[in-house]
Amino acid sequence: MFQVIILRFEFFNSFLLFRIFSSFFFSFYFIRLLFIFNFFFFFNNRNSFYPSTLYKLLYSFPLFY
């Protein structure tokens, strides 16, 4: 009986870890999509999200990871 309780707790803990890591993965995926979308407007100053070229390079740098 005590072993069943321990197994249930370990399963719940691993499920929580899976939820945390999957949420991090999807958040980084959407952030990278935003960087790619910013990279399309790199040479157009009117449609760009960031005013400076340094900021554009800084925010589109995770494309190369």
What confidence tens digit (pLDDT) does each residue in 2-39 have?
555 555 666 666 666 677 667 766 666 766 666 666 66
Domain ranges of the chain: 2-64
CA 18 to chain centre: 15
The pLDDT, as a whole number, for residue 36 is 65
Closest CA to 45 of 35, 58, 55: 55
The pLDDT, as a whole number, for residue 47 is 53
CA 36 to chain centre: 13
Q: Is-contact 22 28, C-beta < 8 A?
A: no
The pLDDT, as a whole number, for residue 55 is 61
Mean pLDDT of 26-53: 61
Greatest mean pLDDT among 11-15, 52-56, 57-61: 11-15
7-11, 25-29, 47-51, 56-60: range with lowest mean pLDDT: 47-51
In a 13 Å sphere around the CA of 58, the CA atoms on its Cβ side amount to 7
